[in-house]
Amino acid sequence: MGGRIWREYNPFLLGCVAILLVISVVAVYSATLNSITAYGTPLSVLFPRHLINIGVGLLAMIGLTLLDYRTLASLAIPVYIGSVVILGAVLLLGRVSEGAQSWLVLGTRTLQPSEFVKLALMLVLAAYWAALADRRQHWLVQAGALVLMSGPMLLVLVQPDLGTTVVFAVIWLCMAWGAGMRWWQLAAVTLLTVPVAWFGWNEVLDDYQHTRLLTFYWLLNDPQQVDPDAGYNIIQSLNAIRAGGLFGAGFTEGLLSQGNYIPVQYTDFLFAVIAEELGFVGGTVLILFQALLLWLTLNIAHEAGDLFGRLLALGIFGMFLSHMLVNIGMTMSILPVTGLPMPFVSYGGSFMITSLAAIGLLQSIRLYRHRLTFY
């Protein structure tokens, strides 16, 4: 790769991610410092695992940065088919945790394949719309894209993993918007969500997921109706955020976080740990860097050299956006608890590797934007 191409590299994106990773290392260290077990695993082993996951993700990022992203278009179909097969295998062989059968056990480690499928879904949708660029606004083409998304989405929904289902939907919507979806097509897709939501509520979601959604409803409308046990996660999260005040209790000094009062505080509720120990100022800084990440991703999509790259970047934007909003929203009781980690911050090996790989794709889109396009 010549020096002229490297001038297109986006150092601001790399810097933003580096700062978020530093915050992540500090926060996960604090969140696991005095904890004993999580799902039967000593939390003392999670911090070095977190560092290993970041290292693997950085290798994936470097590899994809060096690769011309357009060479991936020819792999879209086999990668998509492989992803569907793997999701099917999860339903047959996967480990059940917290009511969801979402993980595959590989020796002493576990993988959540649906995280990697997010990239596969972006890849096949971008290749599909780019290959049909002249007709991409036709309703049949848009319907075909919806079918491509529905396969993986339904397999994830029946695990049941409501959070990842939402992420798939947001990825599809962002990419469909970039492909020129008309307002009436968006309205039709919105209407389709009604029977899907009814089916999911009655036939797919478990009782604990019903309880989560109902708890969120009562917190908004009548907090006195909330079962203290059912709303424990959110209540402790809000208590930690309030306790942080303006500047926080100090690193590793949070009463609730160091006392293990916040469930899964190293992943889903890590923002509560940050808010308690670093206060409103620390939480705001984190949100600002997450917002900067989204803006930089959108900017790469806007400057992409072809439709394939633009749609791929918009899919990545949708993934980051949904994870950020849902994670912070559920921590602050603005959204229901669905178990999504924050990009580049929360503990979670599969999503960390996926997110860093996505940064590699974004840099590749930026580096190769002035070269001839396949479409």
- pLDDT one-digit tens code per residue, 59-69: 999 999 999 99
Per-residue pLDDT of 253-277, as tens digits, reads 888 888 778 888 888 899 999 999 9
* Structure-block tokens of residue 76: 């879209």
The pLDDT of 26-54, averaged and rounded, is 79
Per-residue pLDDT of 328-373, as tens digits, reads 998 988 887 788 999 999 998 899 999 999 999 999 999 988 764 4
CA distance 16 to 362: 13
Which stretch of DSSP H or E encloses residue 211?
A: helix 207-221
pLDDT at 49 over 60: yes
Q: What is the pLDDT of residue 228?
A: 60
- Give the domain extent around 252: 3-367
For residue 34, what are the contacts with CB-CB under 8 A and spacing of at least 6? Answer: 258, 259, 260
- What burial letters (b/e) apply to 245-274, b meaning 16+ CB within 10 Å? eeebbeeeebebbbebbbbbbbbbbbbbbb
Q: What is the pLDDT of residue 203?
A: 60
CB-CB contact of 374 with 308 (8 Å): yes
Q: What is the pLDDT of residue 373?
A: 45
HSE-up (13 A, CA, CB side) for residue 200 = 22
Does some domain include residue 374?
A: no
How does residue 226 score in pLDDT terms, banded at 50, 70 and 90?
low
Question: How many domains does the chain fold into?
Answer: 1
Bond prior to 160 in cis (omega within 30° of 0): yes
Higher-confidence residue of 198 and 164: namely 164
Q: How many angstroms separate the Cα of 2 from the Cα of each of 8, 191, 326? A: 11, 50, 40
**In whole angstroms, what separates CA 33 from the centre of its chain?**
25
Using a cut of 0.85, tell me whether the model's pTM lies above it: yes
Q: What is the pLDDT of residue 204?
A: 60
CA distance 33 to 10: 35
End-to-end CA distance of the chain: 22
pLDDT at 75 over 90: yes
Residue type, 164: T
CA distance 312 to 23: 27
Per-residue pLDDT of 171-205, as tens digits, reads 999 999 998 877 777 777 777 776 766 666 666 66
Q: What is the pLDDT of residue 229?
A: 61
The pLDDT of 31-48, averaged and rounded, is 70
The mean of the pLDDT values for the chain is: 85
The pLDDT of 292-321, averaged and rounded, is 96
Strand partners, 105: 110
Question: To 10 degrees, the CA torsion angle through 163, 285, 217, 255?
Answer: 100
**In whole angstroms, what separates CA 251 from the centre of its chain?**
26
For residue 47, what are the contacts with CB-CB under 8 A and spacing of at least 6? Answer: 28, 29, 32
Does some domain include residue 372?
A: no
- What burial letters (b/e) apply to 17-43, b meaning 16+ CB within 10 Å? bebbbebbebbbbbbbeebeebeeeeb
- Give the DSSP letter of residue 44: G
Q: What is the pLDDT of residue 320?
A: 98
Q: How many angstroms separate the Cα of 23 from the Cα of each of 26, 31, 139, 203? A: 5, 12, 44, 40
CA distance 204 to 199: 7
Q: What is the pLDDT of residue 252?
A: 86
Higher-confidence residue of 303 and 110: namely 303
Does some domain include residue 296?
A: yes
Maximum Cα–Cα distance across the chain: 64
C-alpha angle 9-13-18 in degrees, rounded to nearest 5: 120
Q: What are phi and psi of 264, to 5 degrees?
A: 35, 50
pLDDT at 375 over 50: no
- Give the DSSP letter of residue 246: T
* Structure-block tokens of residue 329: 């929203």
